[in-house]
A and B are shown apart, each in its own frame.
Chain A
């Protein structure tokens, strides 16, 4: 019998939600690391009981935790993130130079082949790698050093490297995304990098089509088609069919009530792909970059079965009035059961699940602290 384990990071601790394959009855354990901001937890695809977690605090800084038993027990591992060489500067919000300063780990991406190898995306934006189970961390400095780093600037949430995607077919290829610098790709295991933002349009920077400076919120890929990428950008949903070389807007009929000054559709943070249908994607539209809650107070997941442009609102089981939560960039995930399960967490502390690919929804839990991240493990 299959089993599903949902790893939830919140502003005040981590929670683990488990169910059998029916996904009807859930057991909730936690809080783990009560009182700490748990930005992200993610399990190794090679050894699902190996889970890495980012534990952060404004008082006590960054801690890293590792579990070898599926999250029942944890041990602290290395938390020393030191930029390679002289860190230099990036741009501050007002465009003046600002020194690179480590703040926290936003995202952890375990290797597809080795449970002891894991990547960490940090703020201020950089990519780190550990090859010893998280005990020590080394910067993949070619990213910050490729040339455009001094032009990067923070988004409202900080200059975070929030997305790391490992290509399952091409082991040297890594995609990352930074708010507000854009998307980048390496084809040599992280040694060298280049921006992949052609086709992105951002009216809030002096040159709307600049090589870098775009506020990319999240990127998703289906493992069967690693050259096809879907992006939730500051205002737009985008798609690339050539490994990020070119992007095109696929907002289509997403709701217009998003407050964009030029009528653009498609502001939001999360985006994910159905486990078995690589053209089926999910987003949660959010009203404007200044309000950050669902349009009309209706929490709606939008699903496209055509890889974008044609969207349907999924509302059954979700609040359709007086709902003013947000769904943050790492707070949606899918399982690989049949039918595909879809999960997302809100800043109001709800974790919603759909066991039928989004047709119907129900909360697994309603009153957690604000949810920062959701990851799902499908266990056999």
Chain B
């Protein structure tokens, strides 16, 4: 079981209150987690990564275990603590005013 923390606006969009919990088949990677997230919450398609290129949207970052994973290749395994559910994968919106 993978735990994912979404930014406020995406929690509202997906109509979820707290962390999202996902079951992943196979190795937990950014791609497999986002695939599972979008399968469970289709309204998030296009909101985290581009529909076509599958690139992370530029104002979003992926953090876990006090590390910035944003620039890791999408098929790199996530840390064991994330794969085991001990730590969440944090999807963070860039901080900005306005």
Q: Mark A89-116, 1 if CB is under 8 A from B, else 0.
A: 0000000000000000000000000000
Let me know if B60 and A80 touch, CB within 8 A.
Answer: no
Q: Is A189 an interface residue (CB 8 A)?
A: no
Stretch in contact with the other chain, from B18-26, B42-50, B70-78: B42-50
B45, A79: Cβ atoms under 8 Å?
yes
Complex CA distance for A136 and B13, rounded to whole angstroms: 19
CA separation between A346 and B57, bound complex, in Å? 31
**Measuring CB to CB, which residues of chain A are less than 8 angstroms from any residue of chain B?**
34-36, 57-63, 76, 79-80, 82
Contacts of A79 in B (CB 8 A): 45-47, 51
Contact residues in A for B12 (Cβ distance below 8 Å): 34
A82 contacts across to B, CB distance below 8 A: 51-52
Residue B85 CB within 8 A of the other chain? no
Whether the Cβ atoms of B57 and A60 lie closer than 8 Å is yes
A60–B10 CB distance below 8 A: yes
A-B contact count (CB 8 A): 42
Q: Are B51's CB and A60's CB within 8 A?
A: no
CB distance from B94 to the nearest CB of A (A): 7
Quick one: given A76-B43, A80-B45, A82-B51, are A59 and B7 in contact (CB under 8 Å)?
yes
Complex contact B59–A58 (CB within 8 A): yes
> Bound state CA distance, A62 and B52, in angstroms?
14
A11, closest chain B residue (CB): B98
Asked if A63 and B13 sit within 8 Å, CB to CB, the answer is: yes
| B residues in contact with A36, CB < 8 Å | 9
* Known A80-B51, A82-B51: A60·B9 in contact at CB below 8 Å: yes
Q: Can you show 28 pairs from A to B with CB atoms below 8 A apart?
A: A34-B12, A35-B8, A36-B9, A57-B9, A58-B59, A59-B57, A59-B59, A59-B93, A59-B94, A60-B7, A60-B10, A60-B13, A60-B47, A60-B48, A60-B60, A61-B46, A61-B47, A61-B50, A61-B57, A63-B43, A63-B47, A76-B13, A79-B46, A79-B47, A79-B51, A80-B45, A80-B46, A80-B51
CA of A35 to CA of B13, assembled, Å: 12
Q: Which B residues contact A (CB, under 8 angstroms)?
A: 7-10, 12-13, 43, 45-48, 50-52, 57, 59-60, 93-94
CB proximity of B75 to chain A, nearest CB, Å: 23
For A79, give the chain B residue with the smallest CB separation.
Answer: B46
* Cα–Cα, bound, A79→B52 (Å): 12
Apart from A60-B93, A63-B47, A80-B46, list 12 A-B contacts with CB within 8 A.
Answer: A59-B7, A59-B9, A59-B60, A59-B93, A60-B13, A60-B47, A60-B60, A61-B50, A63-B13, A63-B43, A63-B46, A80-B51
C-alpha spacing A82/B50, complex, angstroms = 11
Chain B nearest CB from A38 CB (Å) reads: 13
| A112–B96 CA distance with the chains assembled, in angstroms | 41
- Bound-state Cα–Cα, A61 to B93, Å: 12
Chain A residues with CB below 8 A from B60, complex form: 59-60
A60–B93 alpha-carbon span in the complex (Å): 8
Complex CA–CA separation, A63 to B43 (angstroms): 8
Closest to B10 in A: A60
User: Contact at B9–A35, with CB atoms within 8 Å?
Assistant: yes
From A82, which residue of chain B is reached at the shortest CB distance?
A: B52
A204 to B88, CA, bound (A): 54
A76-B13, A80-B51, A82-B52 are known contacts. Are A62 and B94 too (CB-CB below 8 A)? no
Contacts of A59 in B (CB 8 A): 7, 9, 57, 59-60, 93-94
Closest beta carbon of chain B to A35's beta carbon, Å:
6
A224 to B79, CA, bound (A): 65
Chain B contacts for A62, CB-based, 8 A: 46
- Name the residue of chain B whose CB is nearest to the CB of A55: B13
Inter-chain contacts of A61 with B (CB < 8 A): 46-47, 50, 57
From A36, A61, A62, A82, residue with most partner B Cβ within 10 Å: A61
Chain A contacts for B50, CB-based, 8 A:
61
Inter-chain CA distance A244–B8, complex, in Å, is 46
Residues of A with C-beta under 8 A to B9 = 35-36, 57, 59-60
Closest chain A CB from B67 CB (angstroms): 21
List of A residues within 8 angstroms of B8 by Cβ: 35
Nearest-CB residue, chain B, relative to A83: B52
CA distance A66 to B50 in the complex (A): 22
B8 to chain A, nearest CB (A): 8
CB-defined contacts of B7 to chain A, threshold 8 Å: 59-60
